[in-house]
Structures are given as C-alpha cells and as structure tokens.
Amino acid sequence: MILGYSSLVKSIVHYLLSLLSSAASADISGTALIVDGDTITISGTKIRLSGIGTPEKKQTCRKASVTWRCGYEATETLRGWTYTKEVGCIGDEKDRYGRLIASSFVDGYNVNARLVYEGWALAYRKYSKRYVPEEDKARAAKRGM
C-alpha cells in the first residue's frame, strides 16, 4: 500500500509516539482545541507548550508606535497551523495547574520552535533555553513581537 506524504508523516508520528510512550506516559495526539498561544487541549487534556511564552489572548503589544492585538494574533496563528491537523505532543511533566508540559508537532515540525522563530512567542528562559536561538533569529529579522 502506498501512502501519501500526509499519511506517511502521520504514521511516522504515531509510531514515534508509541515508541516513546513507555518513557513518557502522558504523550497524546489528536485534534487540538486552541486555548491561547501556548495552551491547547487534546481529548480533554490541557497541554502547555514547553519552553515558550506567548502574550495572553487579550494582551496588546506596541511596535513602531502602533498598538496591535499580539495575543489574539499569536492565538490565531497557532489555530491556523493546527486547524484540522493531527497534533502530537510529547511530555512527561505537569505544571502547577495540572497541564501536561509538552513539545507539540504538526506536519513534522516542532510547533513550539516555530512560534518562537516566527516571533509569536518568546523563549521561556526561566524554564528552558531550548528556543533561545529561534528567538534570536526572530528578533534579528524583526518578525512578530
């Protein structure tokens, strides 16, 4: 049976998640409901995207003397990237609110890294330095926030 690219990627993600499930029992995949720019829900499980921070949904930002709804834009960008797609999350810790802390993947790319690289999120340095290079690239290119 020949699989299309999308089906192949989904198969690989499911396979990798199944391999990792013994090490990280909280891994999950499915259709994501977007809470805000760094929080999603899959099958009733709230997930906090690890290592990043986005503006709150109603937060505004100011750039070049223009105020804009950066929190809304970050949330809607994430919604657009995940709409009708399989989202895979890998994580094994929970935060103080009971959310799974995870790296999330869509179509073979790391959503957390992409949000930072595109300027919709910042590296959450208090907990991780993993996405500092993506933040530096976004800042140098003057993307997003």
Which pLDDT band holds residue 21 (cuts at 50, 70, 90)? very low
Q: Which residue has the higher pLDDT, 1 or 107?
A: 107
The reported pTM is: 0.80
Q: CB count, 10 Å around CB of 65?
A: 5
Average pLDDT of the residues in 42-54: 97
Average pLDDT of the residues in 52-57: 95
Average pLDDT of the residues in 5-22: 55
CATH number for region 5-22+31-141: 2.40.50.90
Predicted local confidence at residue 88, as pLDDT: 97
Predicted local confidence at residue 67, as pLDDT: 94
Is residue 78 within 8 A of residue 52, CB to CB? The reply is no
- Which residues neighbour 78 within 8 Å (Cβ) at sequence distance 6 or greater? 34, 37, 40, 111, 115, 120
